[in-house]
Amino acid sequence: MKKNLLMVLLLSLVVSVAAAGPYFQKGTQIITPQVGLNSYAIPFGASFEFGLTENIGISANVMMQFWSEGIGAWGWSSTLITPSVEGAYHFTSLEVDKLDLYAGAGLGYSIYSFSWDDGVGDDDTIVGGSGLFLSPFAAARYYFNEKTAVMLKLYVSAVGDWSGVGAVAGVSFKLK
């Protein structure tokens, strides 16, 4: 019994040491389904990050929001889609266990459309409020194991029609 327990402990130690290592490095590929933490329309989407160097990553993101209201035959709906590209610096030299801290900025384009039904039968669509945006951010991933983490990103949209302060949370899956 003691021999089996000792073997299990030794095996767990070897596995945990073998699984340890940098959570972000050159060639890392991470996909993150994510949701925004808003109070009105909840944005959702995904991001894909690639490690260019041991500290620098570039990612492609897309977030979407849909909201609408209506009374009887009258109603309206809005759509906001925000594709973006982000660059991030990962603070890998901190070597905090299970934590990947990073910061950077994103450049994207907000695609907004608004449509309404006035009850007469001729629906109208207006496209407006679309444009470029710039968003600096700070973020962290906490790894449960080498391949899975939770992510929280705080950002400030500094330029654009949809500017403001926000947060995004998600579950990251390390592909490579």
Residue 170 has pLDDT above 60, yes or no: yes
Please indicate, yes or no, if residue 82 is contained in any of the structural domains: yes
Closest CA relative to residue 166, chosen from 132, 129, 133, 127: 133
3-state helix, strand, coil in the chain (%, to 5): 10, 60, 25
Taking CA atoms, 104 is separated from 56, 65, 174, in Å, by: 9, 23, 20
Please indicate, yes or no, if residue 7 is contained in any of the structural domains: no
Please indicate, yes or no, if residue 13 is contained in any of the structural domains: no
* C-beta contacts of 93-99 below 8 A and 24+ residues apart: 93/55, 98/23, 98/142, 98/143, 98/144, 99/23, 99/140, 99/141, 99/142, 99/143
Please indicate, yes or no, if residue 19 is contained in any of the structural domains: no
Please indicate, yes or no, if residue 11 is contained in any of the structural domains: no
Q: How confident is the model at residue 128 (pLDDT cuts 50, 70, 90)?
A: low
| pLDDT tens digits, one per residue of 44-102 | 999 999 999 989 999 999 999 888 777 766 777 888 888 999 999 999 877 788 899 99
Q: How confident is the model at residue 37 (pLDDT cuts 50, 70, 90)?
A: confident
Q: How far apart are CA 14 and CA 5, in angstroms?
A: 14
- Whole-model pTM: value is 0.75
Please indicate, yes or no, if residue 46 is contained in any of the structural domains: yes
Least confident of 7-11, 41-45, 86-90, 153-157: 7-11
Number of domains in the chain: 1
The CATH number linked to 81 is 2.40.160.20
* Domain with 125 in it: 24-174
Give the rounded distance of the alpha carbon of 75 from its chain centre: 31
Please indicate, yes or no, if residue 8 is contained in any of the structural domains: no
Please indicate, yes or no, if residue 55 is contained in any of the structural domains: yes
State which H helix or E strand residue 2 sits in: helix 2-19
